[in-house]
Amino acid sequence: NAGVTQTPKFRVLKTGQSMTLLCAQDMNHEYMYWYRQDPGMGLRLIHYSVGEGTTAKGEVPDGYNVSRLKKQNFLLGLESAAPSQTSVYFCASSYLYGGAPTDTQYFGPGTRLTVL
């Protein structure tokens, strides 16, 4: 049971390049989330998903797209990277209990992204 894993761990992009971050969880959780964390700041929610095939915008969704084609995977895409997207990206998942999300979110180890 690996929990929540993220790929890649580190990445350097040039302005305008695109990339996709992969989040995978093996806990059969329904909810998945993408956050970003800037230096000295708390986490901010980018997008989240309440189930396979559904996504919703969080606090800072601009410049990002997401997809949840399989229950265990949640992809975060940057179509045209900008220096302002330099950050550490965390993925998380949580499960439903009694029909409501427990909100005990299990976090991955993070992806450090630098955009030059």
Partner 1 sequence: DAKTTQPTSMDCAEGRAANLPCNHSTISGNEYVYWYRQIHSQGPQYIIHGLKNNETNEMASLIITEDRKSSTLILPHATLRDTAVYYCIVRVARNTGNQFYFGTGTSLTVIP
Q: Does 42 bind partner 1 (CB under 8 A)?
A: yes
Question: Which residue of 61, 63, 77, 110 would you call a contact of partner 1, by CB under 8 A?
Answer: 110
Contact between 43 and 35 under an 8 Å Cβ cutoff? The reply is: yes
Question: Per-residue x/- mask for partner 1, residues 50 to 89, rule CB under 8 A?
Answer: x-----x-xx----------------------------x-
**CA gap 93, 78 in Å, rounded:** 21
Q: Does 111 bind partner 1 (CB under 8 A)?
A: no
Q: Does 34 bind partner 1 (CB under 8 A)?
A: no
Which CB, 14 or 42, lies closer to partner 1?
Answer: 42
Task: Spell out the residues 6+ positions from residue 113 whose beta carbon is closer than 8 angstroms to its own.
Answer: 10, 11, 12, 13, 19, 21, 81, 85, 86, 87, 88, 89
Which CB, 63 or 101, lies closer to partner 1?
Answer: 101
**Residue type for 24, please?**
A
**CA gap 93, 28 in Å, rounded:** 9
Which CB, 33 or 78, lies closer to partner 1?
Answer: 33
Strand, helix or coil at 85?
A: helix
Q: Which residues contact partner 1 (rule: CB under 8 A)?
A: 4, 31, 40-45, 48, 50, 56, 58-59, 88, 90, 92, 101, 103-110
